[in-house]
Chain A
Amino acid sequence: MDDLITTIASPLPVLVFAVPIAFGAIILLAGRVCRWCREPLAFVGVLVTAALGVQVAREAIAGRVLTGWGRLLYLDGLSALMVLLGCLMGVAVILYSVRFIPYHLPEDQRTPRKLNLYYGLLLIFLGVLSLMCAANHIILLYLSVEATTLATALLIIYYWRRETLEAAYKYLILVGVGITFALLGFVLLYVAGLQVLPGSEALLLTSLGQIADKLPVNLALLAAAFFVVGFGTKAGLMPFHAWLPDAHAEAPTPISALLSGLVIKVGAYALTRTITVLAPHYHAIVVFVAILASAGMLLAIFMAWAQDDLKRLLAYHSVSQMGYIVEGLGLGTYLGIYGGLFHLLNHTLFKALLFMAVGAIMYATGGVRAISRLGGLGRKMPITATCFFIGALAMGGVPLLNGFMSKLTLFIAVAEQRLLWAAVIGIMTSLLTLACMAHAAYRVFWGEAADDSLAEVREAPATLLIPMILLAALCVLLGLYPQAAYPLLDTAARSIVQALGGAAH
């Protein structure tokens, strides 16, 4: 691979985060005077950001990397992938929330201020996510990852119930402490980089990537361990996942979709930017990450089997699926990184779809999400059932759906590195995932209803179904035509490989 990359200064790295943050601030302020403005403003904000993201993607595919603020900001293919994913999720979640959030808010909380807060925080979250994608400065990366934690914590406690406060408290403590470990890793990396680079250069990820092989070996391994603990906590990797099931279960369901579809990918993205700097030079990191990921993906499936709560079941599946993503990214090879990013994209799609389907069930049944209380919903909610099945089969890795293609890529990448045991565990986990989801889907959508109150259940409204159908369609499209994502994924994978100075193969 000998691609020519051109670096050009551009206002896009600043606009891509400033625009959604500005829209978020406008919603928080203007929403007080114009009650009907918040949802349209939120849509416009996300669509404008998406347009900027598309432009960044086009530049990246054309071989151009955009910098801003004197290389403090850096937008490459990987950044473009994450920004576009964020915007896609933003559109889906906002559309879904229009009907869902007011319906589930208690009467005394259904105020304009409360709704402004929701959409304002969503846009601000999208803005700090974009800032994270653009960060080339290690401290800016740390701060933006932490900022996503703070923004989502406020969204988790949105319903202001005991359970939401407990979930958010655990989330903040565990992820906050975890990211402090990542900060320690950055301190060590910076100090190590100072031995080779001038002061300001040693703070830039791009510069550190070029000299990764010159760092003291043990220091690099120690920093890598801190990154895995820190960003692994954010990503929900086992054994640092304790916050994840509670937060996913108790947050408003559109936010659960966001948490699983995007927030935990923040941890994966940050791990990508840090571990892949070091992994190709230190095989111990590759093996360590593979062991952690494989153990996590398998154990999480067994925990998922024990769940009666649909949202907690999906949360444990997220822990399991993150194992695949981190395993691929941690390999440090082109194919591994490509497979990891492909699965990151696919997981965002099918997991958000699954959470939205569960949300539709909750909407239709008055908040029921216990599997033991559900049954026979397939006849009453055929579209929701179809979407759920597509998401479940995609996650299980069934051929012709997107999950199969990304998992196959990962298995091949892992096998190429002679980690056959990891490939076997991955395949086993995939089969167990399929079995678990098929079992849950059967109990929810087939058979007889366990509760008489479900007799009056009807299909969810259009504003809930449209984003689900869109995500389901994308799962099918990428399964039948995976090449559709190739230009962006290839650019994203190459951007990581090139940052390594060609050390990956």
Chain B
Amino acid sequence: MADLLAHNNQLISLMAAHLIASLAAAEVGHTKCAIMWLTIQSALLAAIFAMLAHLTGASHLYLWAAVCVLTKVGLIPLLLWHYSNELPPQEARSLVGLQWSIIVVAVALVGFYRFLHGYLAFVAPGRAAVTEPALTSWAIAFTVIALGLYVLAVRRDAIKLVIGVILMENGVHLTLVSLAPTVPETTMLGVTTNVIVLAWLLLYLTAGIYRLMGTRDVTTLSQLRR
């Protein structure tokens, strides 16, 4: 625990970089660049797992990090890359601009941070959750989840929506490791497998929609609006 607190700033820096990479993945308009940023975001997530493993002595978190590298840094970006090859490189224009995204992320981060530091006892699951770095980690994790939801709400590009879903899932993983690092690695494996299959299926549908309708703009999916 003393180690954890001593390396608090390093861990929080990693998490802040993870948040910035998440925002970049959400905002960058060129699809393949966005995929690169998502890969960086996932690599930072793996680094967070590895750092927590080193600091807490919970060696099974190294396995979490390895699984994260294999799946979120390897498989998922590969899938995204493969399917984006079939589509035009530039995504369909977003409903809102970068400035609004920055505002939303900043408000979410400050809001979650202040809520968790001021009112954590309201929902505190236990003593570990009321100390650093769990509090900041939790705030960043919820901000990433909120960012994923925001992407789903304001982006029009089908591939960007898949990135939004993956951002949400990564945020939930960060929540899990922040609050309950003792959860078995098989849990992590199961959840990650699910994300891969979901991402693949969404990309498969996206490619099918593009072939049949010639667009990756989800706002044009209005055949069924009657």
Segment with Cβ contacts to B, from A48-56, A181-189, A265-273, A453-461: A181-189
Chain B interface residue bracket vs A: 35 or more
Whose C-beta in chain A lies nearest to the C-beta of B142?
Answer: A184
How many Å lie between the Cα of A216 and that of B123 in the bound state? 7
Residues of A within 8 A of B179 (CB): 187-188, 191
A219-233, CB < 8 A from B: 219, 222
**Does B172 make an interface contact (CB < 8 A)?**
yes
Given A150-B197, A169-B205, the answer on whether A194 and B126 have CB atoms closer than 8 Å is yes
Given A172-B198, A187-B176, the answer on whether A165 and B205 have CB atoms closer than 8 Å is yes
Residues of A within 8 A of B172 (CB): 180, 183-184, 187
How many Å lie between the Cα of A200 and that of B186 in the bound state? 12
How many Å lie between the Cα of A216 and that of B20 in the bound state? 33
Residues of B within 8 A of A176 (CB): 165, 198, 202
Question: Which listed residue, B126, B201, B213, B226, touches A162 by the CB 8 Å rule?
Answer: B213
The contact string, 1 if C-beta is below 8 Å from chain B, for chain A 148-177, is 001001100100111101111110110011
Do B205 and A168 touch across chains, with their CB atoms under 8 A apart? yes
How many Å lie between the Cα of A186 and that of B201 in the bound state? 24
Do A180 and B169 touch across chains, with their CB atoms under 8 A apart? yes
Do A146 and B198 touch across chains, with their CB atoms under 8 A apart? yes
Whose C-beta in chain A lies nearest to the C-beta of B213?
Answer: A162
Residues of B within 8 A of A190 (CB): 180, 183
**Does A250 make an interface contact (CB < 8 A)?**
yes
B118-137, CB < 8 A from A: 122-126, 129
Whose C-beta in chain A lies nearest to the C-beta of B188?
Answer: A139
Q: How far is the CB of A125 from chain B (nearest CB, A)?
A: 14
Residues of B within 8 A of A172 (CB): 198, 201-202, 205
**Does A106 make an interface contact (CB < 8 A)?**
no
Whose C-beta in chain A lies nearest to the C-beta of B208?
Answer: A165
**Does B175 make an interface contact (CB < 8 A)?**
yes
Segment with Cβ contacts to A, from B38-46, B62-70, B101-109, B216-224: B216-224
B26-81, CB < 8 A from A: none
Do B224 and A167 touch across chains, with their CB atoms under 8 A apart? yes
Residues of B within 8 A of A184 (CB): 145, 172, 175
Q: How far is the CB of A141 from chain B (nearest CB, A)?
A: 11
Do A250 and B125 touch across chains, with their CB atoms under 8 A apart? no
The contact string, 1 if C-beta is below 8 Å from chain B, for chain A 299-317, is 0000000001100100000
Question: Which listed residue, B175, B180, B208, touches A160 by the CB 8 Å rule?
Answer: B208
Do B187 and A194 touch across chains, with their CB atoms under 8 A apart? no
The contact string, 1 if C-beta is below 8 Å from chain B, for chain A 357-383, is 000000000000000000000000000
Name the prevailing secondary structure of the A interface residues.
Answer: helix
**Does A76 make an interface contact (CB < 8 A)?**
no
How many Å lie between the Cα of A188 and that of B129 in the bound state? 11
**Does B116 make an interface contact (CB < 8 A)?**
no
**Does B158 make an interface contact (CB < 8 A)?**
yes
Name the prevailing secondary structure of the B interface residues.
Answer: helix
B171-226, CB < 8 A from A: 172, 175-176, 179-180, 182-184, 187, 190-191, 193-194, 197-198, 201-202, 205-206, 208-209, 212-213, 218, 221, 223-224, 226
**Does B152 make an interface contact (CB < 8 A)?**
yes
Question: Which listed residue, B122, B125, B161, B191, touches A188 by the CB 8 Å rule?
Answer: B125
**Does B11 make an interface contact (CB < 8 A)?**
no
Given A177-B152, A184-B172, A184-B175, the answer on whether A191 and B180 have CB atoms closer than 8 Å is yes
**Does B168 make an interface contact (CB < 8 A)?**
yes
Residues of B within 8 A of A170 (CB): 221
Whose C-beta in chain B lies nearest to the C-beta of A171?
Answer: B205
**Does A335 make an interface contact (CB < 8 A)?**
no
**Does A493 make an interface contact (CB < 8 A)?**
no
**Does A140 make an interface contact (CB < 8 A)?**
yes
Residues of B within 8 A of A250 (CB): 224
Do B175 and A187 touch across chains, with their CB atoms under 8 A apart? yes
Residues of A within 8 A of B126 (CB): 191-192, 194-195
Do A169 and B158 touch across chains, with their CB atoms under 8 A apart? yes
**Does B12 make an interface contact (CB < 8 A)?**
no
Question: Which listed residue, B152, B169, B180, B190, touches A140 by the CB 8 Å rule?
Answer: B190
Given A183-B191, A194-B180, the answer on whether A169 and B202 have CB atoms closer than 8 Å is yes
Residues of A within 8 A of B125 (CB): 188, 191-192, 194-195, 216, 219
Residues of A within 8 A of B17 (CB): none
**Does B149 make an interface contact (CB < 8 A)?**
yes
Residues of B within 8 A of A195 (CB): 125-126
A225-279, CB < 8 A from B: 245-246, 249-250
Do B198 and A218 touch across chains, with their CB atoms under 8 A apart? no
Do B122 and A139 touch across chains, with their CB atoms under 8 A apart? no
Can you give 21 A-B contacts (C-beta < 8 A)?
A143-B191, A143-B193, A143-B194, A150-B198, A150-B201, A163-B224, A169-B158, A169-B218, A173-B202, A180-B168, A187-B172, A190-B183, A191-B125, A191-B126, A191-B129, A192-B125, A194-B125, A203-B183, A203-B184, A219-B124, A219-B125
- B: residues with CB less than 8 A from A are 122-126, 129, 145, 149, 152, 158, 161, 165, 168-169, 172, 175-176, 179-180, 182-184, 187, 190-191, 193-194, 197-198, 201-202, 205-206, 208-209, 212-213, 218, 221, 223-224, 226
* Additional A-B contacts beyond A183-B172, A190-B183 (18; CB < 8 A): A140-B190, A142-B194, A160-B208, A162-B209, A169-B205, A184-B172, A187-B176, A188-B125, A190-B180, A191-B129, A194-B125, A195-B126, A203-B183, A203-B187, A216-B123, A245-B224, A246-B224, A312-B226
Enumerate the 3 nearest inter-chain pairs by beta-carbon distance, A residue then B residue, closest first. A191-B125, A166-B221, A191-B179
